[in-house]
Structure 1
Amino acid sequence: MSERLLDVYDALLLDLDGTVYRGEQAVPGAPEAVAKAREQAVAIRFVTNNASRAPQEVADHLAELGFAATLDEVSTSAQAGAAVLAERVPAGSPVVVVGSDALAEEVRLVGLRPVRTASSEVTAVVQGLSKDTGWRDLAEACLAIRAGALWVACNNDTALPTERGLLPGNGALVAALRAATDAEPLVAGKPERPLMDQAVRTANASRPLVVGDRLDTDVLGAHHAGLDALLVLTGVATPGQLLTAAPELRPRYLAADLSAVLDGVAELEIAVTDSAWTVRVDNGLLLVSASDAGTAVTEDVTADATAGPAGQRWSADALELLRQLCAVWWAEGGGAGVRVCATDDAARAAVGRLLPAELLATPA
C-alpha cells in the first residue's frame, strides 16, 4: 500500500450530514476512522453547514453516535455567519435572525443583538436552517433587506441529507428571500471561505484534507480555500455528477465512505493507473473494457440501507472504474457531453450499475 492519507495530512475537515452521519445514524466505519486519525495525532474538525444547532449540541450528538467529539472540534456555519456579521456591522447592532435559537446565541456571542422583527434600527439579517422557520420569519427578513440591511446566509445548501432522504435545506429558504428581495446574501458557509478558514485556523493545520459528500459545497469549498478534497459517496454526490463535474468541482480523491482515510493515497487518487479497466476516448466516447479477460463484476452495487443515498454500497472494482473514467475524461477537458460505451460484458455490467442511462451509449 502507498503512503496513507493520515501520513500526508495533519487535519481532517469533516463534513457532517452525508459524510459522518445520515440523520440519526453514523456512517458505518466512520467512528473508527476518526478514532484512528486521533491516534495518529491528526487534528479533527467537524465542519458543518448546518446552522440549526449549537456547537455543544453538535458535539454531544457526535458523542452519542460514537465519535467522542469535543466542543473545540466543532466548526459551524452559524459561528462563521456571526463572525462575518461582526466584521461588518457596529458592535451592539440589532440583527434580524432567521433561524434557530442557537444561531441567535452565536450572534449574541460576537457582541451583536439578535432580534426577530424588522425595524429602522436593524443593520443586518442572518439566515440559517431551522425546521421552524415560517412565512412570518421570512417576511421580517424581507422588510429589513429591502430597507438596506446587510444579508448574511450561513449556507446555501438547497438539500439536507437525512435517513429519510433529501429534505429542504437552508438554501431553499434563501432562494425564497432572494426571489422576494432581488438581493444576494453574503454566504459564510461552504463553499465560501469563512467557515473553512475558521476550521483550518482552529486546527492549527498546515496541510488539512477536506472530506465531504457534496461537490457544490465540500469540494468547491476546498477549491476556494486551496485545499485537497476527498469525496465520499454516502450522501448527495453521485458517480454521474462526479464524471461530468466542472474543474472546480473535482476532488483529488474518491472513496465509498469516510473509512477510506485509513487507505493509501495512490489507491484513492483520481488518476490514470494500471487497472482492471481500460478506458480511452474515441470520437467523443469513453470506451471501457475489462483489462483482464477474467474480470467479471457482477455485484458492483449491493443493497445496504446504511450505505449511499439510494441504499447502495460501492465495490472496490466500481470505484476503481469511476476513478479511471474521471481521470481520462477530465484529461480530455471533461464536461457534460460525455457518453460511456462498454465494449465487453464485464464492462457493460459495471457501467450499467455505476452510471445513469443518459450517460451510456451502445457500440456502433
Structure 2
Amino acid sequence: MLLFAHDAILSDLDGVVYAGPYAIEGAPEALNRAQEEGTPVAFVTNNASRSVDAVAQHLIELGVKTDADHVVSSAQAAAELLAQRLEPGARVLITGAQALADCVEAAGLTPVWSQAEAPVAVVQGFNPKMVWENLAEAAYTLSDADVLWVASNTDFTIPKERGIAPGNGTLVNAVATATKRSPLVAGKPESPIFETAAKALKSSSPVVVGDRLDTDILGGNRAHMATALVMTGVETYESVLSAVPAERPTYIIETLDGFFEEYPQVSVEKTDNGFTATCADARAEVDGKSLNIFAENDVDGWRAATAAWWAQNPDNELPVLPENISRD
C-alpha cells in the first residue's frame, strides 16, 4: 500500500485533519492507523502564534494520538533558520507572539523586544494582538542592512470563526514596504519547515500530505519530497488539473484512507493530437484542447486525466484548463 512507500507522513492540519473546530471524518483514525503500522506522523502548521503544545492538545481532543514533539510550526522552522545563520546567544527582535519568542530561545538565541537591545536579526510571525508600534520597531531595526530578517510565513489570509482575515503576509508586506527589503521565509510554501519536520522524525523519504496546491504541495515539491493532495479541503479536481508544474502533487487521494490502498500505476502515451493516460481501469484522452475521461472510479479517472493533461502542458506558467471536458 501507498503508506509503505515512505518512512514518514508530514501532514497539514486545516483541510486534512480538521475543518474549523471539527475533525474531518475518518482523519484521526487514519493517522492513528498509520502510526500503528509503523509510519510516524508529524503535523506541520504555518501558525506561529500558537505553541506546539496547544496544537498537540487540540489534535488529542479530536482523537489523534500525538504530542508536542510531533508538531512542527513555522515558528520553530524560523528559529532553526536563524540558528543556522547566527552565533549562539545572538539577539533577535521578536515581531510576533510569545510562542515565537519561546522557539527562538529554545534554538539557543536571545529574544528581545526593542531596537535598543541591539538585535542582529528580526523574526516576524503572526500575532493577532500586533500593533503599529511592533511593526515600526521591526522597520527601524531593519534599516540596518546587516540585520537578518526571517518571516515565519507569508500567508496573506487566515481563516477565523467569523470568516477570512488578514494573515501574517499582510503584516510582513507592511514592513517590506517601509524597508524595501524582503525576508527569508521559513514556513510554507518554502522548504525549511518541511526539512525541520523530516529532521525531527529522522526521515529520509517522507511524504507531505495537504489540501492546498499553493502551500502544502508547492512547499513539499520545493523540499524535493513526495507530495499527496487529499481532496477533503479547498481544492477541486478541476483546480488540480489546471495546476502549474511546481504545484503538481505526486499522488492524488480522496481521503487519508488512500494511504492504505495500493496506488495504481499511471501510464502516459503520446498520440497524434495529444496524450492518452491510463490508471487502473480508467483512461483519459487529450485531443488538442479537449479532454475525455472514461472511468467508473472517479479518483482513478482524474489521476489519468491529470497525467494526460500535464503531459500536454508541461511548462504552463499560469493555470490552464481544457476548453472541453467530457466524462463517459
Q: TM-score range by the shorter chain?
A: 0.7 to 0.9
State the AA in 2 paired with 1:72. Answer: D
State the AA in 2 paired with 1:59. Answer: A
**Inter-CA distance 256–330: structure 2 relative to 1 (3 Å threshold):** same
Structure 1 residues 67-104: Cα deviation after superposition (integer angstroms, max 9, x where no partner): 12112211111111111112223333332212111111
Structure 1 residues 14-44: Cα deviation after superposition (integer angstroms, max 9, x where no partner): 1112222223222211100011101101111
Distance in 1 (CA, whole Å) between partners of 2:165 and 2:253 is 24
CA RMSD of aligned residues (A): 2.4
Check whether the contact 2:122–2:142 (CA below 8 A) recurs between aligned residues: yes
Distance in 2 (CA, whole Å) between partners of 1:200 and 1:88 is 20
- Note if 1:44 corresponds to 2:41: yes
Distance in 2 (CA, whole Å) between partners of 1:322 and 1:121 is 55
Distance in 2 (CA, whole Å) between partners of 1:128 and 1:94 is 16
- Where structure 2 has 5 or more consecutive residues not aligned to the other structure, the ranges are 269-276
State the partner residue of 1:303: none
Q: Give the TM-score of the pair, scaled to structure 1.
A: 0.79
Return 91-100 or 233-242, whichever deviates more: 233-242
Check whether the contact 2:294–2:301 (CA below 8 A) recurs between aligned residues: no
State the partner residue of 1:15: 12
State the AA in 2 paired with 1:324. Answer: A
**Inter-CA distance 135–229: structure 2 relative to 1 (3 Å threshold):** same
State the partner residue of 1:281: 286
- Note if 1:142 corresponds to 2:136: no
Distance in 1 (CA, whole Å) between partners of 2:183 and 2:279 is 46
Check whether the contact 1:18–1:162 (CA below 8 A) recurs between aligned residues: no
Q: Equivalent of 1:122, from 119, 126, 142? A: 119
Matched residue count: 316
Q: Give the TM-score of the pair, scaled to structure 2.
A: 0.87
State the partner residue of 2:198: 200
| Consecutive aligned runs of 4 or more in structure 1 exceeding 6 Å deviation | none
SS at match of 2:227: strand
TM-superposed CA distance for 1:322, in Å, is 2.7
TM-superposed CA distance for 1:236, in Å, is 3.6
**Inter-CA distance 259–159: structure 2 relative to 1 (3 Å threshold):** farther
State the partner residue of 1:157: 155
TM-superposed CA distance for 1:274, in Å, is 4.7
TM-superposed CA distance for 1:176, in Å, is 2.3
State the AA in 2 paired with 1:339. Answer: P
State the partner residue of 2:170: 172
TM-superposed CA distance for 1:161, in Å, is 4.2
Distance in 2 (CA, whole Å) between partners of 1:214 and 1:144 is 34
Check whether the contact 1:126–1:151 (CA below 8 A) recurs between aligned residues: yes
State the partner residue of 1:189: 187
Distance in 1 (CA, whole Å) between partners of 2:233 and 2:8 is 22
Check whether the contact 2:93–2:123 (CA below 8 A) recurs between aligned residues: yes
State the AA in 2 paired with 1:333. Answer: N
SS at match of 1:157: coil
- Where structure 1 has 5 or more consecutive residues not aligned to the other structure, the ranges are 296-315, 348-364
